[in-house]
Chain A
Amino acid sequence: MTATAGRARSDTAQQAPRRRRPGLVIAGAGLALVVALLAGIWVGALPLPPGAVVGTLFDRLPGVDLSGGLSATQEAVLLQLRLPRVLLAALVGAGLAISGAAYQGVFRNPLADPYLLGAAAGAGLGATLVIAYSPSQSLGPVGVVPLAAFVGALVGVGCALALGTAAGGSHSATLLLAGVAVAAFLAAAQTLVQQQNTDDLREVYGWLLGQLGRAQWSDIALVLPYLVPACLVLLFSGRALDVLAVGDDEASALGVHPGRLRLLVILAASMATAAAVAVSGLIGFVGLVVPHIARRLVGGAHARVLPVSLLLGGGFLVLCDLVARVVLAPAELPIGVVTAFVGAPFFAGLLWVGARRR
């Protein structure tokens, strides 16, 4: 008995160094996010002296009184334009990335992304309907377009879930197909509305391609109540996803309810996606690519992939937004274009490396 206990202990000792590595990666990802945020705040169409920027930011903290050294215009740009924009990019990127990782876990499919169950098509339709037909652009302090996009995304997912469960239970393959059907239908409806109202074409496309250019503090306030709880739920569902990864039957034998678990994760991920999409339009590739990067760094266990995806996603989108702002300054690239330009070659690279390994 002692011998086995001794051997068991030495085994655990051997495992300990490996267990520390994921912690390192998470810390590294967090650091990367902070660096990205700083870069995003320092760089932009209007040059701001970095030292003065830091000074002004610290001055904002209660109890600290530093003279910033920025003019009124510069300070306004920093605090009312750049800072909310960078923070929103981090929030949206984090939300999309963790949702993507959760979807990939739930559907056991590395090609899943947060828009799979009709969230994108639904949001697009909602936004297009409002842009085309709404007489006013805001309902009190809340813009109508974000509201419509949020509702549209949830409706899209709801339809896919309803269709999937009605058609054949909560198996992942059925849900996937239902999602494809709903997305196709809603996308067709969106195109129809768009073509009927070609005056608004530019605004619709601008929204569809994703934009963070009009980020304000009010957008952050709008998004947080939905994004934060959803991301918390997802962070805690990593272990559940690991159990789901062995298939419905085996997961059932391990004492979990795969259908219910799947539903919970899908709802949380859809909520996060809807919130992100509401304020930033349809930014693609983040939810698809970032979880893959995370998996390369910490392996396939969802308990680790999800938090790393969250942090990396935030940093990734902040950097993409930086590129979008700077490459053609003062004009801006739509951010969806930048993420696609980064994401597509990345995927090609993944395929290449994977094929050669085999």
Chain B
Amino acid sequence: MQVTLKIFRYNPETDKKPHYAKYKLEAEPTDRVLDLLEYVKGNFDGTLSFRRSCAHGICGSDAMRINGRNRLACKMLVHELHSSKITVEPILGLAIIKDLIVDMEPFFANYRSVMPYFVNDEPAPKQERLQSPEDRERFDDTTKCILCACCTASCPSFWANDEYAGPAAIVAAHRFIFDSRDRAAAERLEILNQQFGVYRCHTIFNCTDACPREIQVTRAIGEVKRAIATGKID
């Protein structure tokens, strides 16, 4: 099938302002949008810039806005778009560096701010710390996060103020807060109880829709809110 790819272009070294470039090309319905971008870069315009690595939805490099929704270009197949017109733009809320590449530093700074690492200073046993399958299951959903920023960059509260930790950082905190082996839940809840913490979330559900790993992001944020409100982790 023939598709028209309309791509957001901006090169700060040569362009005064952003524009859109259109490319017509042949595509298989099962092609990934990433395949089309590679084809355009390889054959039409080598200056087209975007991030990519694993090409199957695990590394989280190629989050972009595809027909208006945040998706991984490697996990979005042409036929799933139900249209031969495909518009590809950078994700919102983060400064554009070039074409589809945005500045990820504020996103990772927010991630780092919630203590996204395991804390347990008690002497470790000789073997593994025990954890029941049920306790393990409690935080399974949020272990899946690949830090692609699809969620955070779909969140109106984050667009309004990038000091808001954002859904991805709260998901990272959730993964540790609800891990029965971890001992720093109180500190993380304190961080997320502050001005730019969980209460900036207005339960809009964009994040859950955007997540390519199908994490129940809004639910995880709700569980963190409840833990702060009740002082209990259950």
A and B associate in one complex: no
